[in-house]
Chain A
Amino acid sequence: MMEAVTSDGLVAEGISLSFGGLHVLNDVSMTLQPGVVTGLIGPNGAGKTSLFNCLTGLYHGQRGRSSFAGTPLNGLGPAQRAACGITRSFQNLAMCPDLSLLENVLVGLTLKRRSGWFSAFVPTQAQRAEQQDAERRAMAALNELGIASVAHEKPSDLPPGTLRLGEIARAIACEPRAILLDEPAAGLNAVETRDLMRALKRLMRPDLVLLVVEHDMDLIMELCEQIYVLNFGKMIASGTPAEIRAHPDVIRVYLGDDADD
Chain B
Amino acid sequence: MSARGAHVDVVRLLMLALVAILLLAPLLAGGFLLYSLSLCFANTLAVLSVSMLVRYGGEVSIGHSFFVALGAYAVAIIEHRFGLSIVVSLPLAVLLGAGAGFVFAFPSRRLSGIYLAVATMALALALPEILIGFEKFTGGFEGLYIAQDLLPGMPKALQRYYVALAVLVLVCLALAHFRKSAQGLALLMAQAQPRAAEAMGITRSWARISIFTLSAALAALAGALTGFASSTVSPNSFTFFSGVFLLVGSVVSLNRLSLPAALVGGAFITLVPTYLAQAGDWVPILYGVALVVVTLVANAGDLRRFLPRGMRR
Interface residues of A in 99-126 (CB under 8 A from B): 99, 103-104, 106-111, 113, 115, 117, 119-123
Binds B, one of A82-90, A217-225, A251-259: A82-90
Contact indicator A122/B185 (Cβ below 8 Å): no
Contact indicator A94/B198 (Cβ below 8 Å): no
Closest to A98 in B: B188
Picked from B174, B183, B189, the residue with its CB within 8 Å of the CB of A96 is: B189
Contact indicator B174/A108 (Cβ below 8 Å): no
Q: Which residues of B contact A95 (CB under 8 A)?
A: 192-193
23 A-B residue pairings within 8 Å (CB atoms): A58-B199, A78-B195, A78-B198, A79-B199, A79-B201, A82-B200, A82-B201, A90-B195, A96-B188, A98-B313, A99-B188, A110-B185, A110-B200, A110-B201, A110-B202, A115-B181, A119-B181, A120-B181, A121-B178, A122-B174, A123-B177, A170-B200, A174-B200
CA distance A88 to B195 in the complex (A): 11
Contact indicator A79/B181 (Cβ below 8 Å): no
Q: A58-B195, A90-B196, A97-B192 are in contact. Are A83 and B201 (CB under 8 A)?
A: yes
Q: A96-B192, A96-B193, A110-B186 are in contact. Are A120 and B200 (CB under 8 A)?
A: no
Q: Which residues of A contact B178 (CB under 8 A)?
A: 120-121
Residue A211 is within 8 A (CB to CB) of chain B in the complex:
no
CA distance A88 to B183 in the complex (A): 21
CA distance A237 to B158 in the complex (A): 79
B303 to chain A: closest CB distance in Å? Answer: 15
Q: A83-B201, A90-B195, A111-B201 are in contact. Are A103 and B177 (CB under 8 A)?
A: no
Picked from B177, B182, B202, B309, the residue with its CB within 8 Å of the CB of A79 is: B202
Q: Which residues of B contact A127 (CB under 8 A)?
A: 181
Q: Which residues of A contact B206 (CB under 8 A)?
A: 79
Question: Beyond A82-B199, A107-B189, A120-B182: 15 further Cβ-contacts under 8 Å?
Answer: A58-B195, A58-B198, A79-B199, A79-B202, A79-B206, A96-B191, A99-B189, A110-B185, A110-B200, A110-B201, A117-B183, A119-B181, A120-B181, A121-B178, A122-B177
B96 to chain A: closest CB distance in Å? Answer: 17
Residue A134 is within 8 A (CB to CB) of chain B in the complex:
yes
B14 to chain A: closest CB distance in Å? Answer: 22
Picked from A79, A90, A115, the residue with its CB within 8 Å of the CB of B203 is: A79
Q: A56-B199, A94-B196 are in contact. Are A110 and B188 (CB under 8 A)?
A: no
Residue B197 is within 8 A (CB to CB) of chain A in the complex:
yes
CA distance A107 to B181 in the complex (A): 10
Would you list the 10 A-B pairs with minimal beta carbon distance, nearest first?
A: A94-B196, A120-B181, A82-B201, A78-B198, A96-B192, A111-B201, A121-B174, A113-B182, A94-B193, A79-B203
Closest to B309 in A: A156
Residue B311 is within 8 A (CB to CB) of chain A in the complex:
no
Residue B277 is within 8 A (CB to CB) of chain A in the complex:
no
B59 to chain A: closest CB distance in Å? Answer: 16
What count of chain B residues pass the 8 Å CB interface test? Answer: 30
Q: Which residues of B contact A111 (CB under 8 A)?
A: 200-201
Residue A152 is within 8 A (CB to CB) of chain B in the complex:
yes
Residue A26 is within 8 A (CB to CB) of chain B in the complex:
no
Residue A77 is within 8 A (CB to CB) of chain B in the complex:
yes
Binding site secondary structure of chain B: helix
Residue B136 is within 8 A (CB to CB) of chain A in the complex:
no
Contact indicator B199/A78 (Cβ below 8 Å): yes
Picked from B1, B188, B198, B200, the residue with its CB within 8 Å of the CB of A77 is: B198
Q: Which residues of B contact A97 (CB under 8 A)?
A: 192
Residue A67 is within 8 A (CB to CB) of chain B in the complex:
no
CA distance A57 to B203 in the complex (A): 12
Residue B81 is within 8 A (CB to CB) of chain A in the complex:
no
Closest to A56 in B: B199
Closest to A174 in B: B200
Query: CB-CB contacts of B23-61 with A at 8 A, as 1s and 0s?
Result: 000000000000000000000000000000000000000
Residue B184 is within 8 A (CB to CB) of chain A in the complex:
yes
Contact indicator A110/B174 (Cβ below 8 Å): no
Q: Which residues of B contact A82 (CB under 8 A)?
A: 198-201
A15 to chain B: closest CB distance in Å? Answer: 18
Q: Which of A56, A90, A110 has the most CB of B within 10 A?
A: A110
B17 to chain A: closest CB distance in Å? Answer: 23
Picked from A109, A122, A152, the residue with its CB within 8 Å of the CB of B1 is: A152
CA distance A57 to B206 in the complex (A): 17
Contact indicator A99/B185 (Cβ below 8 Å): yes
Q: Which residues of B contact A123 (CB under 8 A)?
A: 177
Q: Which residues of A contact B186 (CB under 8 A)?
A: 107, 110
Q: Which residues of B contact A238 (CB under 8 A)?
A: none
Q: Which residues of B contact A170 (CB under 8 A)?
A: 200
Q: A121-B178, A122-B174, A152-B4 are in contact. Are A107 and B197 (CB under 8 A)?
A: yes
CA distance A135 to B219 in the complex (A): 32
CA distance A107 to B174 in the complex (A): 20
